[in-house]
Amino acid sequence: MVQVSWILCPQCSFKFYVEASHLAGEQRDKTKWFCPSCKKTFYYGDLKEDKGKKNA
Of 19, 43, 45, 48, which lies in the binding site for other proteins, with binding defined by CB under 8 A? 19
Helix (H) or strand (E) holding 52: none
Report the C-alpha gap between 35 and 17 in whole angstroms: 9
Strands 15-18 and 5-8: antiparallel
* Three-class secondary structure of residue 48 per DSSP: strand
**Count of residues near other proteins by CB under 8 A:** 20
Using the rule CB under 8 A, is 16 a contact of other proteins? yes
Using the rule CB under 8 A, is 32 a contact of other proteins? yes
Using the rule CB under 8 A, is 4 a contact of other proteins? yes
Using the rule CB under 8 A, is 56 a contact of other proteins? no
